[in-house]
Amino acid sequence: MPSANASIGGDIARVVSILDQRIETIQNIRDQLVHEFREARPRLTGDATRKHAITEFIREHGGSATRAEIIEGTGFPVGTVATTLNDKTRFVNRSGRWIIVGDA
């Protein structure tokens, strides 16, 4: 008859095995998300910033864009777009459309 310690050891081994499987699954999901995010994200080169990218996006879309259009068109996260548009020295909202300060 196996001892109590042998049973506990076997239980722990099963739990570790399950955790290893779940970790592998989560790592695969992470890798897929990273791959998809990199594919959807515009490439910024040189000294380009999110502000610069959003400024260019607005200019390329007739000088104004809604927040939803900016999020969809740039692929930037909602919070990043919100934070960027809070720069009142660069962006202003006119009737739900964002324009570049100076172009207003």
Beta carbons within 10 angstroms of residue 20's beta carbon: 10
Domain 50-100 has CATH 1.10.10: yes
Helix (H), strand (E) at residue 92: strand 91-94
Confidence (pLDDT) at 22:
94
pLDDT in tens, 34-61: 777 665 555 555 445 888 899 999 999 9
Give the domain ranges of the chain.
1-40, 50-100
Q: How much is the CA Rg of the chain, to the nearest whole Å?
A: 24
pTM: 0.54
Q: Give residue 104's pLDDT band: very low, low, confident or very high (50, 70, 90).
A: low
- The partner residues of 100 in beta bridges, in order of sequence, read 91
Helices 78-85 and 50-60, packing angle to 10 deg? 80
